[in-house]
Amino acid sequence: MILGNYTLEHGGLKFFNPQNPHFIAPLWYIVFCLPCVDKLPLSIRVLLEAAVRNCDGFYTKEGDVQSILDWQQQQNKAEVPFSPARVLLQDFTGIPAMVDLAAMRDAVAKHGLDPSLVNPKCPTDLIVDHSLQIDYSKCAIQNAPNPGGGDGPNQSHGPSRSTPSRPPSRGGSQCGGQRGSCSKAACNDPPSSSGQSPASVQQIENTPLLCPFHLKPVSETETSAKNQEMELIRNKERLQFFKWCSKAFKNVNVVPPDIGAVHQVNLEYLSRVVQISNGFIYPDSVVGTDSHTTMINGLGILGWGVGGIESEAVMLGQPLSLTLPQVVGCKLLGTINPLTTSIDIVLGITKHLRQAGIAGRFVEFFGPGVSQLSAPDRTTIANMCPEYNATVSFFPVDQVTLKHFKKTNFTQEKLEVLESYLKAVKLFRSYEDPSEDPEYSEVIEINLSSMVPYVSGPKRAQDRVAVSNMKEDFQSCLDEKVGFKGFNISKEKQETRVPFLHCGQKYELAHGSVVIAAVISCTNNCNPSVMLTAGLMAKKAVEAGLVVKPYIRTSLAPGSGMVTHYLSTSGVLPFLSQLGFEVIGYGCATCVGNTAPLKETVVDAIKQGDLVTCGVLSGNRHFEGRLCDCVRANYLASPPLVLAYAIAGTVGIDFEKEPLGVTPEGKEVYLCDIWPSREEVQQTEEDTIISSIFKDLRGRMEKGNTFWNNIECPDSVLFPWDHKSTYIRSPCFFSKLSKEVPPPQSIENAHALLFLGDKVTTDHISPAGSIARASAAAKYLQSKRLAPREFNSYGARRGNDAVMTRGTFASIKLQNRFIGKSGPKTLHIPSGQTLDVFEAAERYQRDGIPLIILAGKDYGSGNSRDWVAKGPYLLGVRAVIAESFEKLHKNQLVGMGIMPLEFLPGQNADSLELSGKEKFTITLPDTLSPRKQLTVTTSQGKSFIVTALFDTEMDVTFFQHGGLLRFVARTFLK
């Protein structure tokens, strides 16, 4: 069989090892001819192919290949390597990885070696997509434009340096149209104590300075452009570093801002399905520094999220080491209900798989129900993998996937090669043919007919609520004690209603009132059918005379320009805009806590009534306080349901019995009146999702943007660090790096820096949102003469270890048992003082006292984020003792040389009667091994056993080197 210039012999690709030309891989014959391969899950076949292709006798051995062939017997036992085809970085988690590589070049140069040796060996794509903030939206400037991030000038301690005087009033004209029209009287506010009018805003180029309640409508194009302009100005220093990386490092491709979210760009542009490189043809695969890299599995491309530390190792040629996983077969049966969206299917499958307890396993879908799912449906389902703790959710390529590829930028020649190759290596399948079904570790059946519309919340993605039960469920949340779902609002206060003025009109808020409504089309809502459903619904709502109350913070953040393209082409975008859902830009905003502050009148009303108000978004993260500090209940919902709740203005509504609203003529309009049929959505999708969408993306990718193209960067092998920079700083991970590995050292007389409970998330450990004015990070930035408006966010400053160390455990929602209330404080045990976590750690380090952390269950759940391990390491934490760990975070701790120690089953800090104020000694043996049990003794004479969660020999090696970064650096020194 001939595939272009590639020859398949005996059903397999002719192959030789470039490191050893005499080693012709006979295992290819085994791969294609042994009957046992036919029963391997297709995701395991991808691991098998990678092991055969990279079999060099060092990192990958023939025994590893044999272990994968014997998967049925070796699952959960054998440790095998995996070398993915490429690495995917987003800018928040990518910048520390690139900073580390730049610092590693410095370390290699200090030992007299050529620093240009330090390069990613694995192709690496870095997408700049996480720095967008909402400065402009709807018909007005929601914030004063704010180049430095942080608070706007209305909330600063004095006038901005760049704030010009306020222009004269334009007379009695009204502005804002249906959403936000108001009278001139609302503008006549007295000057503030600082001498500025509350209406003052900063000027950007020729933007007029007007009262934020009286701005004339700003076009969607201008709104998006101004948000993008602010993003580029605010992050210029970081962008200069990224551009240096793209020039200085080989195998690094940087996708500039204003292209799209990392997940969408990966799906639409970077995915190859089959890679053709250097005479090899092989399956595409990827690991990324984002937990939602798993989205790509919907296209038959094996990939999952890892920490920045692991990604750096892969970039530098180290394979990932993983225990050969169990593979759960998820058999889909039944027929999809016409009113059920892909989000409902996602949440339904998430619930089933979470209840099945499949943490750390692969999930592979099969069964006749899969054929009913489009390729976007599959990527939507695959995206939610982190929510049920599976490693991947894999959909092998079939005819439906091939039809999707025909709409994209794949040429006919590439499609022929792709199909022929996948069939030849048995990575293509028909879901209608049960004879092709592999053997799985376990099979779970899910009936698609049982799926009904759901939302998730008010605090966790796994707490699903049927839309039909939403009103009663929210009421129960008010009644329940404070917890994962409860708010403990007394009966007499549950009917509280607080009136307030907005744009000269009177409104009122109550428990359940919606104040944030964000339609986001990235990750689990990239599916065109779902966004088109929302758009068609908006059209019907506007035609019916329905409106969204103007005080609700609405926004539309497409995952890429493709979404805007098909919403515009289908004619629904103007109707979304009319309801307040205008395109605010491209990149992560509300999901990562970059929502603009609510109006002061709204915030005052919430505080006055101690109200449990709500945010509704079609994203994937909604922890309490993440969207906005004063919004306590947040729900994940499909885009059309976000619109429905925004129009209703409350989550306390029964859509089947109560109207969404009343038309100006007095007619009641129900949800069923404006919900488009599945046939209508599918027809619109067929008419708009065409190859021109992908051609448009390719054009924007190749063109970039003027700002990016004009950025100047250093032309040097070593990065010229600017010691005055507050964004980019050389970290100290390689200080005193020796060629030899130091012997293991026991931890003696350590204090507990923190005493934590269950469900400590990565947001608690290393926040990604705004930098609070009273925080340790703020004090550092102020010492660098930065004003609060210039702080930007923790995510944007991940290239500065001084900021990120001070930001570790800086979450206002951190529950430290030493303190008894939420906040970024802890007890400095020797002095008995309550200090910021950083200040306490600084004292401990000054006194030479090692630190540990005590925690409960599921420590480190949430987004992959390398600073959740780097930060504690720089604070001096040597070990974390917890009841259980999120696997990805556990790997990150090991990668930084921090021991993840697990209490024995049935034991925890309370059962062992630990106060946390003792001194702890952890004795290490001369030789460590995976899952080694260690003894912990306390200064109170107690002793207990913990398990060191080193799952593989590679974990032990990384720990002994003091972390993965030092391990990789030593490979260059030797």
Q: For the segment 810-861, what is each residue's pLDDT rounded down to a tens digit?
A: 998 999 999 988 999 999 999 999 999 999 999 999 999 999 999 999 999 8
Q: Is 465 helix (H, G, I), strand (E, B) or coil?
A: strand
Q: Which residue has the tokens 């003529």?
A: 665
Measured distance between the N- and C-terminal CA atoms of the chain, rounded to whole angstroms? 44
Per-position DSSP letters for 782-819, written without gaps between them: HHTT--GGG--BTGGGTT-HHHHHHTTT--TT-BBTTT
- Which of the four CATH numbers 1.10.10.60, 3.20.19.10, 2.40.128.90, 1.10.486.10 does domain 747-972 have? 3.20.19.10
CATH code of domain 325-452: 3.40.1060.10
Asked whether residue 233 carries a pLDDT value surpassing 60, the answer given is yes
Q: What is the pLDDT of residue 926?
A: 86
Q: In this structure, what token pair is assigned to residue 712?
A: 């100047």
Q: According to the model, what pLDDT value does residue 590 have?
A: 63
| Lowest-confidence segment of 107-111, 591-595, 656-660 by average pLDDT | 591-595
**CATH 3.40.1060.10 spans which residues of the chain?**
325-452
HEC secondary structure over 22-44: EEECCHHHHHHHCHHHHCCCHHH
Residue 851: beta bridge partners? 751, 877
pLDDT band of residue 31 (cuts 50, 70, 90) is: low
Contact 695, 409 (CB under 8 A): yes
Which regions of the chain carry the CATH code 3.20.19.10? 747-972
Residue 493 scores a pLDDT above 50: yes
Main-chain phi, psi angles of 9, to 5 degrees: -120, 140
**Whether residue 880 has pLDDT greater than 90:** yes
Contact criterion met (CB below 8 Å) for 937 and 748: no
Question: Closest Cα to residue 713, out of 336, 248, 255?
Answer: 248
| DSSP string covering 110-171 | HTTS-GGG---SS-EEEE--S----S-BTTB-SS---TT-SS-GGGSSS--TT--PPPPP--
CB neighbours (10 Å) of residue 110? 11
Q: What is the pLDDT of residues 356-410, one digit of tens each?
A: 988 889 999 999 999 988 888 888 889 888 788 889 999 999 998 998 888 777 8
Q: Is the pLDDT of residue 46 over 80?
A: yes
Q: Which segment of 131-145, 266-280, 942-956 scores lowest on mean pLDDT? A: 131-145
Assess whether pLDDT exceeds 50 at residue 567: yes
- Is residue 179 scored above 60 in pLDDT? no
d(CA 68, CA 538): 51
Q: d(Cα 70, Cα 86) in Å, to the nearest integer?
A: 26
ω into 458 cis (within 30 of 0): yes
The predicted structure's pLDDT at residue 210: 32
pLDDT of 4 over the 80 cut: no
Task: Read off the pLDDT of residues 612-629 as tens digits, 9 standing for 90 and up.
Answer: 999 998 876 655 655 577
Q: Tell me: the pLDDT tens digits for 861-871? A: 877 678 999 99
Residue 141 or 464, more confident: 464
3-state helix, strand, coil split of the chain in percent (to 5) is: 35, 20, 45
pLDDT-derived band at 200 (thresholds 50, 70, 90) equals very low
Task: Compute the distance between CA of residue 662 and CA of residue 669 in angstroms, rounded to an integer.
Answer: 6
Q: What is the pLDDT of residue 171?
A: 34
- The mean pLDDT of the chain is 82
* For range 272-298, the mean pLDDT: 88
Binned at pLDDT 50, 70 and 90, residue 522 comes out as: low
- Backbone φ and ψ for 377, nearest 5 degrees, come out as -60, -45
Residue 643's pLDDT band, with cuts at 50, 70 and 90, is: very high
pLDDT at 528: 79
Q: Give the other-Cβ count within 10 Å of 617's Cβ.
A: 28
Q: How far apart are CA 964 and CA 970, in angstroms?
A: 10
DSSP helix/strand/coil, 260: strand
User: Taking residues 700-724, what's their average pLDDT?
Assistant: 85
Contact call for residues 61 and 27 (beta carbons, < 8 A) = no
**Residue 114: pLDDT band with limits 50, 70, 90:** very high
Confidence (pLDDT) at 206: 31
Name the segment(s) of the chain with CATH classification 3.30.499.10. 84-139+214-324, 454-684
Residues present in the chain in total: 974
Query: CB–CB of 795/130 below 8 Å?
Result: yes
DSSP labels, 382-421: HHTGGGGT-SEEE--B-HHHHHHHHTTT--HHHHHHHHHH
Report percent pLDDT > 70 for the chain: 82
* 651, two tokens: 């989550």
Instruction: For domain 84-139+214-324, give the CATH superfamily.
Output: Aconitase, domain 3 (3.30.499.10)
d(C-alpha 251, C-alpha 315), whole Å:
9
Closest CA to 807 of 795, 817, 818, 816: 795
Which residues, in sequence order, are CB contacts of 930 under 8 Å at separation 6+?
A: 950, 951, 952, 953, 955, 956
Query: What integer pLDDT is reported at residue 195 of this predicted model?
Result: 33
Q: Give the class (CATH, top level) of 454-684.
A: alpha beta
Distance set, CA 842 to CA 753, 807, 869, 877 (Å): 11, 13, 17, 11
